[in-house]
Amino acid sequence: VDTQPALDDPTYRAAVLDLLGIVAYGELTAFERLAGDCAMAPALSDKASLAALACTELRHYGQLRDYLVELGADPEASMQPYIGRFDAWHESTAPSDWLEGLMKAYVGDSIAADFYREIAQYLDERTGAMLTEVLGQTGYDDFARQRLLDAIAADPRVSGRLALWGRRLMGEALSQAQAVAAESRALEGLFVGTPERPGLGLNVLAEIFTTIQTRHTERMAGLGLHA
Amino acid sequence: VDTQPALDDPTYRAAVLDLLGIVAYGELTAFERLAGDCAMAPALSDKASLAALACTELRHYGQLRDYLVELGADPEASMQPYIGRFDAWHESTAPSDWLEGLMKAYVGDSIAADFYREIAQYLDERTGAMLTEVLGQTGYDDFARQRLLDAIAADPRVSGRLALWGRRLMGEALSQAQAVAAESRALEGLFVGTPERPGLGLNVLAEIFTTIQTRHTERMAGLGLHA
């Protein structure tokens, strides 16, 4: 039995286009946000490092956009439904300083990346490989983690504030993920499925959330913070 | 007689490091500003085009920073004196909408690029080639010009406002250029010189300003606007 989902199945294809649209728009807003956070950089070298990472996100956006075009989809149409959702996420988690911005990128973006990377395992080979590639390490993790560790070492009092902020980011990420899932029939179809093609099942979704929580706890622990 | 200025002449070297610091910091702020203007983009494709151009500026910044390091200079130290100057320029010319942002990049940045490209002709070969390369066409000109022409065609009334804005940009650019020249002894030395090594001469500076004005008038005319 060929269990590989196929892009010529309209239900599966719609879910893939939705997923690619979400991740593509996420990369484009990640570019904008990281570039905006450059204004808070304490040194020109930090500014330039962050700017370079923003450009990596933009390159990933370009790969996803090109892949959408290759699949015969309109990238703008695939992204459009998620604009308000990402705006809501960025408004509810606007960092108030450089360190909160680093945490948002290191902790917040990683939660989203983990979520889509886990889903990628259940997709057709090419789509899965594309998502795994663009959601892979950007070099940001090392940069942000080191800067955060330096800041906590320099003033241990910041760790309480950052731990609270990390929990807030996780809470907001989960509520946005639920909203995205509820809004997209296509994504719902990927998990719930149809009589002809059963979905991944809600137990898979539950496993994914457990994995995300575990990775989040590990990242926070890597900073000496409780999740 | 070898008239090529040499980087082992301390006076000339200081002027080159100042110039490279100015242009490098200019590229870094160009990245930040173009990335910030992405928020005003009327369509996702415009946003992505502008973001890609911002990343081109950042790549140019990286080339200049690496060249400064190669020359044994500290890039941060070379840029530091010009931070306030660029902030003043960006504050006095903050665009109020997408079209003013396009004009600022197309008209304002081009004035600065023309200025440093003209100076580049009088520098040692490697420094001149480096500046000419990073200040060359970024693809932004075509993008911005086409969008501006489209906007003027769609609503001819915007042309009056943009013409006024273009003149304002030219005025502010000239006053900032004068302030930079007055603040940097090294740059002053490049033009005025010393008894041992005469400078380029103030007539060269006057020619450069004439060239800048001519190019500005041509760019404005290319939009159907009076300079």
Instruction: Please give the average per-residue pLDDT across B83-99, as a whole number.
Output: 91
CB contact under 8 Å between A44 and B28, yes or no, is yes
Residue B48 to residue A54, Cβ atoms within 8 A: no
Yes or no, beta carbons of B54 and A35 under 8 Å apart: yes
When CB atoms are compared, the residue of A35, A43, A48 closest to B35 is A35
Residue of A nearest to B39 (CA): A32
A205 at interface of B, judged by CB pairs closer than 8 A: no
Task: Give B43 to chain A, closest Cα distance, Å.
Answer: 9
Cα separations in angstroms, A73 against A13, A18, A29, A68, A180: 10, 10, 20, 5, 20
Q: Exposed/middle/buried for B100, CB within 10 Å: 0-12, 13-18, 19+?
A: buried
Cα angle for residues B217, B223, B227 (degrees, 5° grid): 30
The answer on pLDDT for B216 being more than 50 is: yes
pLDDT tens-place string over residues A168-206: 999 999 888 888 877 887 778 788 877 777 788 888 888
Q: Which pLDDT score is estimated for B3?
A: 58
Residues from chain A that touch B35, judged by Cβ atoms under 8 A, are 31-32, 35-36, 38, 51, 54
> How far apart are alpha carbons B149 and B153 in whole angstroms?
6
Q: How far is CA B114 from the centre of its chain?
A: 7
Judge contact between B56 and B138, C-beta under 8 A. yes
**What confidence tier does B187 reach under pLDDT thresholds 50, 70, 90?**
confident
Model confidence at B1, pLDDT cuts 50, 70, 90, reads: very low
- By Cβ distance, the residue of A28, A36, A59 closest to B36 is A36
* Residue of A31, A63, A69 for testing the chain B interface, max B β-carbons within 10 Å: A31
Residue A40 contacts B where some CB pair is shorter than 8 Å: no
Cα first-last separation, chain A: 42
Please tell me the predicted confidence (pLDDT) of residue B7.
87
The partner residues of A193 in beta bridges, in order of sequence, read: A198
Chain A environment of B79 (Cβ under 8 Å): 44
- B151-164: pLDDT as tens digits: 999 999 999 999 99
pLDDT at A1 over 50: no
The answer, yes or no, to whether residue B57 has pLDDT greater than 80, is yes
The pLDDT confidence band at residue B184, using thresholds 50, 70 and 90, is confident
Partner-chain contact B35 A39, CB within 8 Å: no
List the single residue in B47, B51, B58 with the smallest CB-CB distance to A52.
B58
Query: What tokens does B165 get?
Result: 């804005």
CA of B109, closest CA in chain A: separation in Å? 19
- Residue pairs between chains A and B whose CB atoms are closer than 8 Å: 70
Which residues 71-110 of chain B have a CB within 8 Å of chain A?
Answer: 75-76, 79-80
CA dist B22 and B7 (Å) reads: 18
In this prediction, residues A50-78 reach a mean pLDDT of 96
ipTM reported for the complex, 2 dp:
0.87
pLDDT of residue A132 exceeding 60: yes
pLDDT of residue A4: 64
Report which DSSP code applies to B223: T
B47–A76 C-beta distance less than 8 A: no
A31 touches chain B (CB under 8 A): yes
Cβ–Cβ gap B36/A35 under 8 Å? yes
Q: What residues contact A15, with CB distance under 8 A and at least 6 apart?
A: A184, A186, A187, A189, A190
Which residue in chain A is spatially nearest to B36 when comparing CA positions? A36
**Chain A residues inside the 8 Å CB shell of B45:** 76
User: B149 at the A interface (CB within 8 A)?
Assistant: no
Q: A72-76, B11-15, B17-21, B193-197: which has the minimum mean pLDDT? A: B193-197
| CB within 8 Å: A58 and B58 | no
Work out the pLDDT band at B21, boundaries 50, 70, 90.
very high
Tell me if A65 and B52 make a contact (CB, 8 A cut-off): no
Instruction: Give the pLDDT mean for A76-94.
Output: 91
Closest among B116, B89, B114 to B24, alpha carbons compared: B116
**A31 vs B28, B51, B75: nearest CB:** B51
State the Cα–Cα distance between residues A73 and B90, nearest whole angstrom.
39
Overall average pLDDT of the B102-119 stretch: 91
Q: Does A177 touch chain B (CB under 8 A)?
A: no
- A28·B43 Cβ contact <8 A: no
Please tell me the predicted confidence (pLDDT) of residue A3. 57
The length of chain A is: 227
Question: What proportion of chain B, given as a percentage, has pLDDT over 90?
Answer: 66
Do residue A54 and residue B35 have CB atoms under 8 angstroms apart? yes
Report the range of poorest mean pLDDT among A162-166, A178-182, B69-73, B155-159: A178-182
A2 pLDDT above the threshold of 70 = no
Q: A155-158 — which CB contacts under 8 Å span 24+ positions?
A: A158/A99
B52 touches A at CB < 8 Å? yes
